[in-house]
Amino acid sequence: MDTSRARSTDIQQIWQRLLEPNITVLLRNESISSQAHAGIYTTIYNVVMMDHGGQQLYAQLSAFYATYTMGIYKARPEDDSLLPSYYDSQWTRFCRGAATVDRLFNYLNRDWVELQRDEGRRDVKTVLNVALTQWRINIFDPLSPRLEPPPAVSEADAEEKETRVAILRTKFASESLTVRELRKMRFSSTQSDVASSHPSEGE
């Protein structure tokens, strides 16, 4: 086996045995030990330092978030009246967990993603934006028609809900969202919360 193939196999095993299980725990908003956190952080650094390690790790993350968000979509309620609360609860959990994962993958963002973007690869996103893109593609886009108001509601309520969906759709297109903004991007938030401007500080 050549060296590049061996390294690819090593990264796959690291992903399956260490990274994927712990990322899943974090996305459920459960905690991991400080020892596990330190071990994961060091492992990510070591992988990124490998030849093509950042690229392979990024590909694993992208595929993981696609599968994970599709699972949330498949578990959606069929009753439209239950959908907004389901969407909001899942979104709150997901954005909190995704922000934690993004911080954990700081080395990937800083040492590989930034380099790729500096070289003109606008398709490469930060780890957080990879998560948000998959949420938009696999959950928000297919569910947003059901989040919009049915014809029977009042005109005022319909306009308000349509505005919320439109604002969320616009925000998902941004790659400069802060964690504070993400927390406000719930469907049932008040319109003033959802439409608030970017805060000057990130989180």
pLDDT in tens, 168-186: 878 877 777 777 888 778 7
Say which range, 3-7, 23-27, 141-145, has the weakest mean pLDDT: 3-7
Residue 62: its pLDDT value, please?
Answer: 96
143 C-beta neighbours (distance < 10 Å), count: 20
Q: Do the beta carbons of residue 171 and residue 181 sit within 8 Å? A: yes
Residue 186: its pLDDT value, please?
Answer: 79
Query: Residues 23-66: pLDDT tens digits?
Result: 999 999 999 999 999 999 999 999 999 888 999 999 999 999 99
Question: Is the pTM for the entire model greater than 0.85?
Answer: no
Query: Residues 92-127: pLDDT tens digits?
Result: 999 999 999 999 999 999 999 999 998 989 889 999
- Report the phi/psi class of residue 52: left, alpha or beta, with left for phi > 0 and alpha for psi in -120 to 50: left
> Which residues are within 8 A (CB) of 172 and not within 5 positions of it... i.e. 6 or more apart?
132, 135, 136, 140
Mean pLDDT of 57-78: 96
> Which residues are within 8 A (CB) of 98 and not within 5 positions of it... i.e. 6 or more apart?
27, 128, 131, 132
Residue 6: its pLDDT value, please?
Answer: 45
Alpha-carbon distances of 65 from 8, 81, 107, 152, rounded to whole Å: 20, 27, 19, 36
Where in the chain are the domains?
Answer: 59-194
